[in-house]
Amino acid sequence: MTRLARISNSMKRPLLALLLGLSLSASAHAFETTARSVVLLDFNTNTVLFEKNPDDEVPPASLSKLMTLLIVFDELKRGAIRMDETFPVSEHAWRTGGAASGGSTMFLPLNSQVSVADLMKGIAIQSGNDATIVVAEGIAGSVPAFAEMMNRKAQELGLTHSHFVNPHGLPDPGQRVSARDLVTLATHIIRTYPEHYPLFSEEEFTFNGITQRSRNPLLSLGADGLKTGHTAEAGYGLVASAKDDTGRRIVFAMTGMKSVNERATQARALMTLGLRGFENVVILKKDETAGEVPVTGGVATSVAVRAADEIRFIKPRGSGSPYKTEIVPVGTIEAPVAEGRRVAQMKITRDGQVVREEPLYAAGNVERAGILQRVQEQVMGYFR
């Protein structure tokens, strides 16, 4: 069963009433997919635009490598490893993930030394199982110890339907993820490691004289990452992200498709829905003045107000009536008023229903008036 425009549990703003009240566009409402589980997220507002079985626990296959790379990014950030540092290719890595294994491989030579930079590309672009074992052993000493790091990070990110046993995603009863967790993981990578995220958009990588291309079918259609995965048990999966011409980004995960072609077709359809089926509505820009509220006992009778950040909605394209706003002071505002003080609330309504409330803050200072001016104001207020 699918639900459109459902809000992610991690959201702090009360958008649910808004999106449940929308008249969904026909194209979005009619969207169907053969994928086993799906989550489509608007990146900037953290709004779930479409979902299907979002919390089903499924085998992740190579989508596990997103968590493997996140651990590498974390270790680089804290200075525990360097990009030019090299790790040895053990016999375990060579036999389990190398050419003889029959799976995705970077074709690492036994007992060679490989830089972290090359290993990252081998994982992100070539999906090398051998490369994941090399980084696991190089960072944590062993695959089980590295899996413990992966699970600690999963717990830290709130991935409640994921558990990792290995860094590559080869079949194991204990290895599982959900589409919602995969989107949370991808979103964290994009937000936290913008310096490494372009790695996922590279279409090919040559190592040891062998050139391999990324399996992401959307890179040629405007997507800029992230990762595909496949095993017989998991089917064909994908985690991807893309932006439109306005810079609005979507992130989505799909699992359980039956072929490469089905994955490509379903992913294109979902990306089209996410980028073209919805639009942003900006209520108030960052640092834009929303209006004024009255001030008593001050050298000025009012103060301009603004929000802490941009106020925007994501809605199905072409749907529904416009939004209306009302500025409501937080009681009587008495001087002195310091810039940044919370002085009002913006109520945003649609079709007579309050769909969101946002705090507003003083955009400047209002000094306390002298005694004569305050008396005059009281007298004038009495006659008013």
**171 in a structural domain:** yes
- Domain assignment present for residue 18? The answer is no
Does one domain contain both 122 and 254?
Answer: yes
Give me the mean pLDDT over the 193-212 stretch.
94
Residue 114 reports pLDDT greater than 90: yes
Alpha-carbon distance 96 to 105, whole Å?
A: 10
What is the band of 200 on the pLDDT scale with cuts at 50, 70, 90?
A: very high
Catalytic, out of 127, 178, 214, 241: 127
Q: pLDDT band for position 9 (50/70/90)?
A: very low
Annotated active-site residue in 25, 52, 64, 65? 65
Last residue of a domain, one of 276, 303, 319: 276
What are the tens digits of pLDDT across the range 83-93? 999 999 999 99
Work out the pLDDT band at 378, boundaries 50, 70, 90. low
Q: What is the mean pLDDT of the chain?
A: 87
228 and 306 together in one domain: no
47 with 158, same domain: the answer is yes
- CA–CA distance from 125 to each of 65, 200, 204 (Å)? 11, 7, 6
Q: What contacts 24+ positions apart, CB below 8 Å, involve 76-85?
A: 76/116, 76/196, 77/193, 80/139, 81/116, 81/138, 81/139, 82/116, 83/115, 83/116, 83/117, 84/115, 84/116, 84/117, 85/115, 85/116
Q: How many domains is the chain partitioned into structurally?
A: 2
> Is residue 84 in some structural domain?
yes
Position with higher pLDDT, 162 vs 6: 162
Percentage above 90 pLDDT, the chain: 70
Report yes or no on 42 lying in a domain: yes
Do 31 and 25 touch, CB atoms closer than 8 A?
Answer: no
pLDDT above 50 (res 11): no
Same domain, 222 and 310: no
DSSP conformation letters of 45-114? TTEEEEEESTT--B--GGGGHHHHHHHHHHHHHTTSS-TT-EEE--HHHHHHHSGGGSS----PPTT-EE
Active site residue 101: no
Identify the weakest region by mean pLDDT among 108-112, 180-184, 257-261, 355-359: 355-359
Average pLDDT over residues 295-323: 86
Question: Do residues 320 and 253 both lie within one domain?
Answer: no
The domain boundary residue, chosen from 257, 276, 295: 276
236 and 92 inside one domain: yes
pLDDT at 318: 74
Do 89 and 225 have their domain in common?
A: yes
With respect to residue 183, please indicate whether it lies within any of the assigned structural domains.
Answer: yes
Whether residues 109 and 249 fall in one domain: yes
62 is known as an active-site residue: yes
Q: Which residues, other chains included, contact 33 with Cβ-Cβ below 8 Å and sequence gap of 6+?
A: 52, 254, 266, 269, 270
Residue 15's pLDDT band (boundaries 50, 70, 90)?
Answer: very low
Q: How far apart are CA 42 and CA 26, in angstroms?
A: 19
Q: Is the pLDDT of residue 64 over 80?
A: yes
For residue 378, count other CB atoms closer than 10 A to its CB: 11
Can you give the residue range of the structural domain that contains 362?
286-383
The verdict on 255 and 142 lying in the same domain is yes
The residue from 62, 90, 178, 241 that is catalytic is 62
| CATH number assigned to the domain comprising residue 339 | 2.60.410.10
Cα radius of gyration rounded to whole Å, the chain: 26
| 348-366 confidence digits (pLDDT tens) | 988 888 888 999 999 999 9
Q: Is there a catalytic annotation at residue 127?
A: yes
Residues 103 and 248 placed together within one structural domain of the fold = yes
Residues 136 and 184 in one domain: yes
On whether residue 109 sits in a domain, the answer given is yes
Q: Indicate whether 296 and 372 sit together in one domain.
A: yes
- Cβ pair 74, 97 in contact under 8 A: no
CATH number, position 265: 3.40.710.10
Picking from 255, 276, 297, the residue at the C-terminal end of a domain is: 276
Q: Is residue 5 part of a domain?
A: no
Within 10 angstroms of residue 67's Cβ, the number of other Cβ atoms is 27
DSSP 164-186: -S-SS----TT-BB-HHHHHHHH
pLDDT tens-digit profile of 161-180? 999 999 999 999 999 999 99
